[in-house]
Structure 1
């Protein structure tokens, strides 16, 4: 409980004692006597608020500048930082080498169609060099193959869908179409633009060689000649 001072003044009953370092505290009867002290307190509060506002006014631009600087540095790092495998993240083209197991397999009994849409059993035309022209007509390559084919070996062009490609002016070229896509499925690789795929099939219906990218005739002349044996 509070103790009275030298003049007998003390805190009201039920209130704690004031700190001794405060000294004597006198509460005037007229509150207007505290006007000067109240004005001084308000001035101190305004000065403190002004300092606080100025601090925030400077802090916001600094934060914006810092964020912009960090964003710029991050963009530079993303461009210049070496990445493993840079330049190799593009999709790789389909391999040009056909499955090794395709050679030595029997050609399936496929029915293709001619220009009049009449069915043509493919195995009835063997031995033959079958050239898939769904990626490229490439008539010059077809003419080379027809000129190199020995007597008794057919050169057959096979287009996708039901439209038969007009054969080039060469002897022994039979133009067909594969509406069901069975021959391309047998090869196991999609058509590639600008590329001819060829199968060499003997009279027994066995695939003797696959040329995923038909090149100069010298690359397959011996295999083509062997089909006539």
Structure 2
């Protein structure tokens, strides 16, 4: 099936009254039109040629016009034909990397909310391991962090619109505070968007300084050394 020129609505050098030129994918598709045009030209030229006289004065202009049309169409087919087999570019996958310069900065003075929608100052919970669960509740990752957190370190889960209820942590594990960040202040501070199925961790020391950002918690080994030093 034919297709219009991919570079624009019109073609340079052709009369505008011709309308939009459709270029077929296969040049053989023009065979029927070319044969019909030749028959019409013969019908026009024959009556105009009186007996004993030379060829019709319209024959040469019509022949030139026919050659020009066929040449133009053939050129368009030659130009557009390779486009149908042009391979599509492979999508580029951007790695999920931690934001540059986030570590070493003080935690912003944000007020999060608990399940009763009461404000909770974030800096009042340090030292803490803050787990952003707006992309994934990830209860196993939360339970592992609570089990590894040393005494005095709070594990905080931060959801998006509302605090997510948590199951009680196992015996001896650190207390887990379930909070929410409806305004998205932490994500804006990190410049790190939420991803489905991914939990992000922030490790903050007792001075309120962000020690490390773990963009994607895959195992406890991603944060274990830093978590053990938060209570120092």
Partner of 1:215 in structure 2?
A: 218
Q: Shift in Å at residue 104 of structure 1?
A: 1.4
Aligned residue pairs, count:
180
Kindly report which structure 2 residues correspond to 1:75-86, keeping only aligned pairs within 5 A, or say none: 75-79=80-84
Give SS of 2:156's match: strand
C-alpha distance in structure 1 between counterparts of 2:118 and 2:133, whole Å = 19
Deviations 1:129-185 (A, max 9, x none): 001112222222222222222222111111123x11232553522111112222111
Kindly report which structure 2 residues correspond to 1:183-202, keeping only aligned pairs within 5 A, or say none: 183-202=186-205
C-alpha distance in structure 2 between counterparts of 1:147 and 1:107, whole Å = 24
C-alpha distance in structure 2 between counterparts of 1:148 and 1:79, whole Å = 58
Deviations 1:177-207 (A, max 9, x none): 1122221111122222222221100111111
Q: Which moved more, 1:124-133 or 1:62-71?
A: 62-71
C-alpha distance in structure 2 between counterparts of 1:129 and 1:46, whole Å = 103
Consecutive unaligned residues of structure 1, counting only runs of 5 or more, are: 1-41
Scaled by the length of structure 1, the TM-score of the pair is: 0.67
CA contact (8 A) 1:143 1:169 kept: no
Rg larger for: 1
Give SS of 1:100's match: coil
Deviations 1:31-90 (A, max 9, x none): xxxxxxxxxxx95996442xx4344554555444333332222223335568xxx736x5
Structure 1's consecutive aligned runs of 4 or more residues displaced over 6 angstroms after TM superposition are none
C-alpha distance in structure 2 between counterparts of 1:106 and 1:168, whole Å = 30
Q: Does 1:67 align with 2:88?
A: no
Partner of 2:96 in structure 1?
A: 96
Residues 1:119 and 1:46: Cα distance change in structure 2 (over 3 Å): farther
Q: Does 1:155 align with 2:160?
A: no
CA contact (8 A) 2:135 2:198 kept: yes
C-alpha distance in structure 2 between counterparts of 1:53 and 1:168, whole Å = 93
Q: Shift in Å at residue 217 of structure 1?
A: 0.4
Residues 1:170 and 1:87: Cα distance change in structure 2 (over 3 Å): farther
